[in-house]
């Protein structure tokens, strides 16, 4: 639609055909099926991802009740309060909860959108990219939180290799998820930020 608008004289945009319809109305009518298919795909994607975001939020919300180590009977604070692993566990679980809820709300906003044709050029792709990014960050935070808590079990056995082992195990699913989602990211980035090509033919001025 933007390509057509940028390559024809402006007064053509408002001229009516024999049925009393503008070029924009005709264009939208001819692409109703494409909008319907895009809306169905967005619905299915948002529903699936929102389930994942809700599961991460549930796990992250329960994380404070499973703090590694015992509590001090006098002060009620964790015995490993000054341990680096516990600090990482606390912050990463907090980030997982925050970003997963943000992602969940973003997917819900997509599900409740009206899916107007003009929204597919910028608003909906940007919303989906933001929601997927928040979901990705929440997954990373959840994995870091799990590794930080699990390190108390194998830390003494692995010793100096603890960080290397857990970093490697964390990177494998993250890289796999990123590789699978990169094509989708590039497609939406191209759709949002690419400029409308100009026609090689000169405009006809009447």
User: Whole-angstrom distance between the N-terminal and C-terminal Cα of the chain?
Assistant: 21
Residue from 101, 148, 117, 124 nearest 36 by CA: 117
Alpha-carbon distances of 11 from 7, 109, 140, rounded to whole Å: 12, 37, 52
Q: What top-level class would CATH report for the domain 26-65+80-193?
A: mainly alpha
Please count the other Cβ atoms lying within 10 Å of the Cβ belonging to residue 100: 27
- pLDDT, residue 204, reads 45
- pLDDT, residue 55, reads 93
CB hemisphere CA count around 139 (13 angstroms): 20
- pLDDT, residue 96, reads 93
Is pTM beyond 0.85 here?
A: no
The full set of domain ranges for the chain reads 26-65+80-193
Spell out the per-residue pLDDT of the chain, length 206, in tens: 555 555 666 655 566 666 677 666 666 676 677 778 878 888 898 999 999 999 999 988 887 777 665 655 565 565 656 677 778 888 899 999 999 999 999 999 999 888 777 777 778 888 888 999 999 999 999 999 888 877 777 767 777 777 788 888 888 888 888 888 788 777 777 766 666 555 454 444 44
- pLDDT, residue 16, reads 66
The DSSP-derived string for the chain is -HHHHHTS-GGGGG---TTS--HHHHHHHHTHHHHHHHHHHHHHHHHHHHHHHHHHHHHHHHGGGG-SSPBPTTT--BTTTT-HHHHHHHHHHHHHHHHHHHHHHHHHHHHT----GGGGGTHHHHHHHHHHHHHHHHHHHHHHHHHHHHHHHHHHHHGGGHHHHHHHHHHHHHHHHHHHHHHHHHHHHHHHHPPPPPPSSPPP--
Q: In Å, how far from its chain's centre is CA 174?
A: 14
């Amino acid at each position: 639609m933007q390509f057509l608008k940028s390559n024809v004289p402006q007064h053509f945009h408002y001229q009516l055909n024999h049925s009393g319809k503008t070029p924009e109305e005709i264009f939208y009518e001819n692409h109703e099926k494409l909008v319907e298919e895009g809306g169905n795909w967005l619905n299915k994607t948002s529903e699936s991802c929102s389930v994942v975001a809700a599961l991460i939020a549930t796990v992250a919300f329960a994380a404070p009740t499973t703090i590694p180590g015992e509590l001090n009977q006098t002060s009620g604070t964790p015995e490993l309060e000054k341990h680096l692993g516990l600090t990482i566990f606390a912050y990463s679980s907090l980030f997982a909860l925050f970003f997963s809820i943000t992602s969940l709300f973003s997917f819900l906003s997509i599900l409740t959108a009206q899916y107007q044709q003009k929204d597919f050029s910028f608003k909906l792709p940007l919303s989906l990219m933001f929601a997927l990014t928040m979901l990705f960050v929440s997954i990373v935070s959840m994995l870091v939180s799990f590794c930080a808590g699990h390190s108390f079990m194998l830390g003494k056995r692995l010793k100096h290799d603890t960080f290397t082992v857990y970093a490697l195990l964390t990177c494998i699913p993250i890289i796999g998820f990123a590789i699978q989602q990169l094509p989708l990211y590039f497609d939406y980035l191209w759709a949002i930020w690419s400029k409308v090509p100009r026609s090689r033919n000169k405009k006809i001025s009447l």
